[in-house]
């Protein structure tokens, strides 16, 4: 690198408006799994060092509640696509995968944006060595989800043609 070349920063700051809410949701779910905190205690976000904007607070709450309610199905999806025994995954990685798969299945935010956000959170909270694993699991889940949605769409089209 020469003196006139700018130094490249590793990673990047996500620009999606709900990025911070996702990070808070991940931290909340991690607390629920690691410590014996109650859901209502965690969802008050008293452990944060800063106030959350109402929209971000509401979205973080929504994510925590939905991921917690759908944990069984999310864990099955992770086990199917992980090719690694569940007990070998770090708790933070399982938490990130649960959140990511939940959000991906809603189809509210484009998959590449979400996957990128969760890759950055993985890099920040578990390290570079987990990035490829998380990316592979999310990519496999997303490919299967798209194929299922396309199959459903084709099925609906043939049903319409028969009517």
What is the pLDDT at residue 6? Answer: 32
Per-residue pLDDT tens over the stretch 39-55: 888 888 777 877 889 99
**Residue whose tokens read 């694993």:** 133
- Which of the listed CATH numbers 1.10.1660.10, 1.10.940.10, 3.30.160.110, 3.40.50.2300 matches domain 19-162? 1.10.940.10
Domain positions in the chain? 19-162
pLDDT band at 2 (very low <50, low <70, confident <90, very high): very low
Per-residue pLDDT tens over the stretch 79-99: 999 988 778 899 999 999 999
% of the chain beyond a pLDDT of 90: 58
Q: Is the alpha carbon torsion for 146, 149, 155, 158 positive or negative?
A: negative
What is the pLDDT at residue 157? Answer: 57
Dig out the tokens for 29 from the structure. Answer: 């779910």
Per-residue pLDDT tens over the stretch 144-155: 988 988 877 666
Per-residue pLDDT tens over the stretch 6-16: 333 334 444 68
């Amino acid at each position: 690198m020469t003196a006139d070349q700018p130094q490249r920063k590793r990673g990047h700051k996500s620009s999606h408006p709900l990025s911070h809410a996702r990070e808070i949701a991940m931290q909340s779910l991690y607390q629920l799994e690691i410590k014996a905190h109650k859901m209502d205690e965690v969802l008050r976000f008293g452990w944060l060092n800063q106030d959350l904007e109402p929209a971000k607070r509401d979205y973080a709450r929504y994510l925590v509640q939905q991921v917690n309610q759908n944990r069984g199905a999310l864990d099955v999806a992770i086990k199917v696509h992980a090719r690694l025994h569940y007990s070998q995954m770090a708790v933070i990685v399982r938490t990130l995968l649960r959140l990511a798969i939940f959000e991906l299945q809603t189809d509210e935010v484009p998959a590449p944006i979400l996957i990128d956000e969760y890759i950055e959170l993985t890099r920040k909270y578990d390290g570079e060595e987990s990035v490829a694993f998380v990316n592979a699991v999310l990519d496999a889940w997303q490919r299967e989800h798209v194929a299922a949605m396309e199959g459903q769409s084709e099925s609906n089209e043939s049903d319409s043609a028969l009517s």
